[in-house]
C-alpha cells in the first residue's frame, strides 16, 4: 500500500481527494489540517492519520515533517494542497506568524519547506511523487517588493505564490532527475464549490469532482509514472506563465526563497 500525505485535507479539495483515495482501499493516508475538529472528522471518515499544524508557522511545518519522519520509514506521495485563498476585492495585507506576507508563507514557503524536510522519506519510496496544487492564476513576484507591501491585492498575492510554487516544482524535478522521485504541479479546476471559492466572492465554475480527478491522476495515475517537471491544467499538460521557464527569474526566486527560509 502507498503512503500518501495530503496537506489541507480537512476541507474542500483536500478532503474530497482523501475520501476518493480512501474508497479504493489501496492507500494509507496521512491527513494534515489546521482545524482539529474538522481534521478528526475526515480522519474518521477515511481511516487516515490526523496531523495538525498551522502552516502560517514554519516551525510547525518542521514539526509536522519531524513527526512524519519519526513514525514512517518512507513516503510515497506528498500532495501539497494546503493554502490560503483570496477575496476578489481583498486589500487587507496579512502576515504569517513568522512575519511574512501570509499567502507567500502558506501557499509557497510552507510547501517548499515541507518538501525539503520530507525528501529523505520520498527518496526511500520505489516511485515517490510530489504533487503541488497550483493555479491557473499566476503572476511573477516583484523582487523589489517580495513581501507585497505596496499596492497589496489578495488575488495578486495568491497568484504570485502559486507561480512561485510552479517554479519550485520545475527546479525540484531538475534536482531529482535520475532518481525515483517525480515532481509535478497542477491547476485542478476553477472555482470549485469549496469554502475557499465561496470566500473569494466568485461564482462556481467547475465541479469538485473535476478537481479531484485532475489531482488524483498525478497521485497514482499509472500513465504518469516517471513523468516529472510538468504543469497540468486540469487533466491536460499545459504551459505555465512565461516566468516559470525563465532561468534568471527562477534563480532570483531560489535566492529569495533561501533567504526567507534561512534558519528554519
Report the alpha-carbon distance of residue 153 to residue 164 in Å, rounded.
Answer: 17
Question: Annotated catalytic sites, by residue?
Answer: 158
Task: Give me the torsion for CA of 63, 178, 169, 69, rounded to 10°.
Answer: -10
CB 67 within 8 A of CB 201: no
Edge-to-edge strand list for the sheet holding 236-238: 49-52, 27-33, 2-6, 77-80, 129-133, 182-187, 231-233, 236-238
Q: What angle do CA 160, 163, 166 make, to 5 degrees?
A: 150
Q: At what angle do helices 247-261 and 110-123 cross, to 10 degrees?
A: 90
- With residue 78 as reference, give the H or E element that holds it: strand 77-80
Task: Give me the torsion for CA of 215, 219, 221, 227, rounded to 10°.
Answer: 100
Amino acid at each position: 500500500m502507498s503512503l500518501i500525505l495530503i496537506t489541507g485535507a480537512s476541507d474542500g479539495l483536500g478532503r474530497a481527494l482523501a475520501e476518493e483515495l480512501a474508497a479504493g482501499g489501496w492507500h494509507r493516508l496521512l491527513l494534515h489540517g489546521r482545524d482539529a475538529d474538522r481534521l478528526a472528522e475526515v480522519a474518521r471518515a477515511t481511516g487516515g492519520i490526523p496531523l495538525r499544524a498551522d502552516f502560517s508557522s514554519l516551525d510547525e511545518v518542521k514539526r509536522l515533517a519531524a513527526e512524519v519522519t519519526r513514525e514512517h520509514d518512507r513516503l510515497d506521495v506528498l500532495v501539497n494542497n494546503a493554502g490560503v485563498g483570496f477575496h476578489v476585492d481583498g486589500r487587507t495585507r496579512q502576515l504569517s506568524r513568522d512575519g511574512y506576507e501570509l499567502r507567500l508563507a502558506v501557499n509557497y514557503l510552507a510547501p517548499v519547506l515541507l518538501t525539503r524536510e520530507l525528501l529523505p522519506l520520498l527518496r526511500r519510496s520505489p516511485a515517490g511523487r510530489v504533487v503541488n496544487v497550483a493555479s491557473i492564476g499566476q503572476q511573477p513576484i516583484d523582487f523589489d517588493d517580495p513581501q507585497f507591501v505596496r499596492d497589496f491585492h489578495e488575488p495578486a498575492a495568491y497568484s504570485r505564490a502559486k507561480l512561485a510554487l510552479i517554479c519550485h516544482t520545475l527546479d525540484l524535478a531538475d534536482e531529482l532527475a535520475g532518481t525515483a522521485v517525480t515532481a509535478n504541479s497542477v491547476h485542478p479546476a476553477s472555482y470549485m464549490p469549496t469554502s475557499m471559492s465561496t470566500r473569494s466572492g466568485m461564482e462556481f465554475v467547475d465541479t469538485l469532482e473535476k478537481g479531484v480527478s485532475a489531482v488524483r491522476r498525478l497521485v497514482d495515475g499509472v500513465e504518469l509514472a516517471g513523468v516529472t517537471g510538468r504543469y497540468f491544467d486540469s487533466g491536460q499538460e499545459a504551459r505555465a506563465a512565461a516566468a516559470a521557464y525563465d532561468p534568471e527569474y527562477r534563480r532570483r526566486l531560489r535566492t529569495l526563497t533561501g533567504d526567507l527560509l534561512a534558519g528554519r
